[in-house]
Amino acid sequence: MDKACVLEKYKNEDEKMLISKLFDKITLMEKQNKVQTTDFLSPIELKLVKDVLNSIGFKNYDIYGGTENAQRNIIIVYPDKLEPVFAENNFDYNSLCNCIRIQNCVEKYDHKVYLGGLIKLGIKREKVGDILVFDDGADIIVSKDISKFLIINLQDLTRFKKCEINLVNINEVRAKEQQYKEMKIIISSLRLDNVVSELANTSRNKATEILKQERVFINYKNEIKPTKIIQEKDIITIRGIGKFVLEEITGNTRSGKVVMMVKKFV
């Protein structure tokens, strides 16, 4: 496992930092012979880390985010002695993650308000997993090392003063089905620059610039080629714009343009 050789394959400094931290976690796990974890990773970061682990043939890892369809997950690396524990699903994830449940607030808040409250308390985004918002409040997945701080300090924020805030067993997190907004786009071809132009509601030239800025990902892998041909069911992420599923090509217009149904994550 040559850390330097792996890092040479990546030019982006953020990617290099993420991979370097991963190797540090593996080294510490082997030295201490106990579980180590990453921070919460976005889907793009998770794809990168999984690719690295698979490329070096590292098998002793688990992915966890609190719910089956979690968007933000930690990667757990573990020693050989714990292989049976993870294989039989007997690991206690409460030792790594907790759920903060906020309920019965005076107002109904959205995802942005809950995240803003955490950031106002000085919490880094990577210490927070999914924020699952419901009509009566939210379940917030967090690293165990910040959970007590949040229980003590969240209620000091004006927005949460009259809310009920509790620490909940991670197994009791309320699952929430991913919400989408359906939309129809009409594109001249299946080239990526055409798709990005429509999804970002901008010109082809601006879409090309967005690609050059490395802000576009297909199935969580960065793509900069404007001529890349997209496929049905591809997941397109545009940083600063949103995440989309290219659901189905439904036909063509009289002028030959492609009609496609798209779902935008909300």
pLDDT, tens only, 139-172: 999 999 999 999 999 999 999 999 999 999 999 9
**Residue ranges matching CATH 3.30.1370.160 in the chain:** 3-91
Q: What is the per-residue pLDDT for 3?
A: 87
Domain 3-91 fold is Ribosomal Protein S8; Chain: A, domain 1 (3.30.1370)
Q: What is the per-residue pLDDT for 1?
A: 60
Secondary structure percentages of the chain, helix, strand, coil, to 5: 35, 30, 35
Q: What is the per-residue pLDDT for 4?
A: 86
**Residue ranges matching CATH 3.10.290.10 in the chain:** 180-265
pTM over 0.75: yes
**Residue ranges matching CATH 3.30.70.330 in the chain:** 95-172
Q: For the domain 180-265, what is the CATH code?
A: 3.10.290.10
Angle subtended at Cα 55 by Cα 53 and Cα 60, rounded to the nearest 5 degrees: 35
Q: What is the per-residue pLDDT for 176?
A: 87
Q: What is the per-residue pLDDT for 247?
A: 96
Architecture per CATH, domain 95-172, reads as 2-Layer Sandwich (3.30)
pLDDT, tens only, 69-82: 999 999 999 999 99
Low-confidence ranges of the chain (pLDDT < 70): 1
Q: List C-alpha distances in Å: 135 to 98, 110, 163.
A: 21, 9, 13
